[in-house]
Amino acid sequence: MNSEKTERKRQDELQAVTRMIEIYCRGKHSHTGSLCKDCQELMNYAHSRIQNCPFMKTKTFCSNCKVHCYSPDMRIKIKEVMKFSGPRIMLYHPIMCIKHVLTSLSAKFKKYGGL
Contacts with Zn ion by CB under 5 A lie at 25, 29, 36, 39
Name the minimum Å distance from CB 28 to Zn ion: 6
Closer by beta carbon to Zn ion, 29 or else 83: 29
Name the minimum Å distance from CB 24 to Zn ion: 7
Q: How far apart are CA 16 and CA 30, in angstroms?
A: 20
Q: How far apart are CA 114 and CA 76, in angstroms?
A: 37
CB 56 within 8 A of CB 6: yes
Name the minimum Å distance from CB 31 to Zn ion: 5
The three-state secondary structure class of 114 is coil
Closer by beta carbon to Zn ion, 21 or else 56: 21
Q: How far apart are CA 105 and CA 56, in angstroms?
A: 16
Q: How far apart are CA 115 and CA 22, in angstroms?
A: 36
Name the minimum Å distance from CB 62 to Zn ion: 21
**Torsion sign (Cα): 35, 41, 46, 52:** positive
Closer by beta carbon to Zn ion, 29 or else 110: 29
Closer by beta carbon to Zn ion, 33 or else 72: 33
